[in-house]
Amino acid sequence: MRLLTKVSCSLIVCLVIGSVALAAKNDEDRFAPLKRFSQVMDLVENHYVKPVTRNELIDGAIVGMLQQLDPHSSFLSKEEFKEMQVSTSGEFGGIGIEISMENGRLTVISPIDDTPAEKAGLKAGDVILEIEGQPTQDMTLIDAVQKIRGPKGKPVSLTVIHKDQQKPFKVKVVRDTIPIISVKSNEVEPGYLYIRLTRFNENTTAELNQALADYRKGGKQLKGVILDLRNNPGGLLEQAVNVADVFLPSGQIVSIKGKNPDQEKVFSAKGDGADLASPLVVLINSGSASASEIVAGALKDHKRALLVGEKSFGKGSVQTVIPLSDGSGIKLTTALYYTPNGRSIQAEGIEPDFMVPLQDNGADGDKLAANHQFRERDLSRHLVNKRKKKSESDDPKQKLLDQLARDNQLKLALELVKYFPIKTYKP
């Protein structure tokens, strides 16, 4: 018995020692590359021509680490972390553009409707070379955002080059208060409601439901809806799910899949949407990204809507903002999202049912047509998939009718919603 006890104890000791040795080896393997990092940091601190702090070097290293992953992962300083909160709530002073960094080049994803940027002629795919004479090549994305934003009425000078052109130009854009109003609507013909979603923020679904309710006041019959997602750069995932839920009676809207199986999430319709019974046509183009693509993909897969326009941007990745202990944070790509039919649209986009390039007919057409080529796949390290003229009238409905006369995509959408059989449901 004593022999058995001694053998058992010896075995346990061997197992413990082996486990400790294995853990020590794993730690050594894990931290070995950090020796090289520490060596470089010491060399920079001791020999670089200008004084630098260790925190500056570490922050820069983290920035570089995340930039190597994909175009949407980034480091957020304390100030930048707070700045992020502004983009989806309230209002701010700025010019009204959605931007991203591409190889150190500040690139316009989409101008926001009726903002100084749009009125100044900035277009999707434009590269901003300088802000107030300062080159943007070495700026972080949030640095650039902070320089562009500022007090209402104060101009900001930009040097810009259009995509596929070689000659840059300078433009002064006067900042304004950018209210984040995401839904505009008007009757395009009796019984047919045009709804424009400019982005997906905290209030988008509520504003959409209000637009539908306002139209029905007084007993108006809603015969069809045109949902315009062109040049909508996206926004909050939750709002995209809720917007799709307005039109879907049941079924999956989107699923999210990360590295680990336990990260998968499925979002489905609740069946209590405000508009299940109206025929629906959705307009998309290459400026329709992220949350816009969730809505368009879900409505297409369920055959609830016809899609008209051009292939969407193709941003099918999910970013998670993770706070760090010192008040800074990281924005990290943690998953890809999939349409109800299981398709990832990452770098591929959503194909419309009716592929209709926008004809160059002036005014709004100029703005939209210039945005048709710039997509997610144009960004380096993207994740691979296994100047507007105003109508003379200030009346919103007249502006829409003027647009209808010029906009061949909208014109086709109206014909389809009126005459083409589209799946609807009894409320």
Indicate whether 416 pLDDT > 80: yes
Across residues 243-252, what is the average pLDDT? Answer: 98
Indicate whether 396 pLDDT > 70: yes
Domains of the chain: 91-178 (2.30.42.10), 181-419 (3.90.226.10)
Q: What is the pLDDT of residue 365?
A: 40
Mark whether 301 is an active-site residue. yes
Indicate whether 13 pLDDT > 70: no
Q: How far apart are CA 341 and CA 76, in angstroms?
A: 35
Catalytically annotated residue among 301, 364, 402, 407: 301
Q: What is the pLDDT of residue 387?
A: 40
Across residues 248-257, what is the average pLDDT? Answer: 98
334-368, pLDDT tens digit by residue? 999 999 999 999 999 999 999 999 987 654 443 44
The model's confidence at residue 24, banded by pLDDT at 50, 70 and 90, is low
Instruction: Assess contact for 136 and 106: CB atoms under 8 A.
Output: yes
User: If DSSP states are collapsed to H, E and C, what string results for the chain?
Assistant: CHHHHHHHHHHHHHHHHHHHHHHHHHHHHHHHHHHHHHHHHHHHHHHCCCCCCHHHHHHHHHHHHHHCCCCCCEEECHHHHHHHHHHHCCEEEECCEEEEEECCEEEEEEECCCCHHHHCCCCCCCEEEEECCEECCCCCHHHHHHHHCCCCCCEEEEEEECCCCCCCEEEEEECEEEECCCEEEEEEECCEEEEEECCECCCHHHHHHHHHHHHHCCCCCCCEEEEECCCCCCECHHHHHHHHHHHCCCCEEEEEEECCHHHCEEEECCCCCCCCCCCEEEEECCCCCCHHHHHHHHHHHCCCCEEEECCCCCCCEEEEEEECCCCCEEEEEEEEEECCCCCECCCCCCCCCEECCCCCCCCHHHHHHCCCCCCHHHCCCCCCCCCCCCCCCCCHHHHHHHHHHHCHHHHHHHHHHHHCCCCCCCC
Indicate whether 11 pLDDT > 60: no
Q: What is the pLDDT of residue 390?
A: 44
Q: How far apart are CA 148 and CA 115, in angstroms?
A: 13
Mark whether 290 is an active-site residue. yes
Q: What is the pLDDT of residue 323?
A: 93
Q: How far apart are CA 249 and CA 213, in angstroms?
A: 18
Question: Which residues are CB-neighbours of 162 under 8 A, at least 6 positions away?
Answer: 123, 125, 126, 370
User: What pTM did the predictor assign?
Assistant: 0.76
Q: Tokens at residue 363, please?
A: 């005014």
Catalytically annotated residue among 123, 315, 331, 367: 315
Indicate whether 163 pLDDT > 80: yes
Question: Which residues are CB-neighbours of 411 under 8 A, at least 6 positions away?
Answer: 404
Catalytically annotated residue among 182, 255, 288, 290: 290
Q: Tokens at residue 332, please?
A: 């990290």
Percent of the chain with pLDDT over 90: 63
Mark whether 380 is an active-site residue. no
Q: How far is CA 165 from CA 22, 127, 172, 173, 278, in A?
A: 58, 10, 20, 21, 43
Question: Which residues are CB-neighbours of 221 under 8 A, at least 6 positions away?
Answer: 191
Indicate whether 75 pLDDT > 80: yes
The model's confidence at residue 370, banded by pLDDT at 50, 70 and 90, is very low
Mean pLDDT of the chain: 86
The model's confidence at residue 389, banded by pLDDT at 50, 70 and 90, is very low
